[in-house]
Chains A and B, each alone.
Chain A
């Protein structure tokens, strides 16, 4: 768990160009680390998609490969995974009630939100918000 976080976060930070070679979904297991990462992204134009998930949430499991595909496709977008039971404070901060909830953030502000296993709906929103700065 910690290994995944460290290596991917490190990779993402190392990259100075918008194209990350091997885009991955970053899973956070500590609120403090998430906060730190969130703050580092505040001043960028990068679209951040947080996937609020839970272990035994069926629709979340359905969306997992979808999100992985999106992460590989939209390399200019950052995909973050947060387990609501692990980081309950972060889930509360974003008013997450049902899972999966996808929160789209830009410059530290929530620009969109989608609840449920709506693959097409999420893709449309990603395309809409990432397109602004391309």
Chain B
């Protein structure tokens, strides 16, 4: 029990010298966090795009705007790191190759062809999750993703 307790991260925080190998994972964690937060510029670009595309396609944002906010941030993050708004709700073997190929760049082919958005960003009015709005503010995005 003691051994396992000692392996928790707070023991690292107290600087126990016997766990000198621990700074490595914590460095990696910092890098992960840095990678995760998209630039405000990209968030704004993707926010505007989302509003425009919802209106153009006759689709609506999720009644839970937290879902919308997270996806917009995900698209922005991919725009920052890959140069294209690759769908953040899919898993890829090679993200860079996928972004270049374009099939899952937002709006993806299934959305353009059949109005299918697995990410729940653009919902047709008959969808149970569909709200009544086609607009979202930067403040709403910030607010609903603040505790992430």
Query: A residues engaging B (CB < 8 A)?
Result: 1-3, 6-7, 10, 52, 54-62, 84, 86, 88, 91-92, 96-99, 116-117
**Using Cβ atoms and an 8 Å threshold, which residues of chain B touch A2?**
7-9, 25
Bound CA–CA A57/B70 (angstroms)? 6
Query: B residues engaging A (CB < 8 A)?
Result: 1, 4-5, 7-10, 25, 29, 32, 36, 62, 64, 66-71, 73-75, 77, 88-91, 93, 118-121, 129, 148
Q: Across the interface, do A56 and B77 meet the contact criterion of CB distance under 8 Å?
A: yes
Can you list 28 A-B contacts with CB-CB less than 8 angstroms, sorted by A residue number?
A1-B9, A1-B29, A3-B9, A7-B4, A7-B5, A7-B8, A10-B5, A54-B89, A55-B36, A56-B36, A56-B71, A56-B74, A57-B71, A57-B74, A57-B88, A58-B69, A58-B70, A58-B88, A58-B120, A59-B120, A60-B89, A62-B62, A62-B66, A62-B120, A96-B91, A98-B89, A99-B91, A117-B129
Least CB distance, B128 to chain A, in whole angstroms: 10
**Using Cβ atoms and an 8 Å threshold, which residues of chain B touch A116?**
118
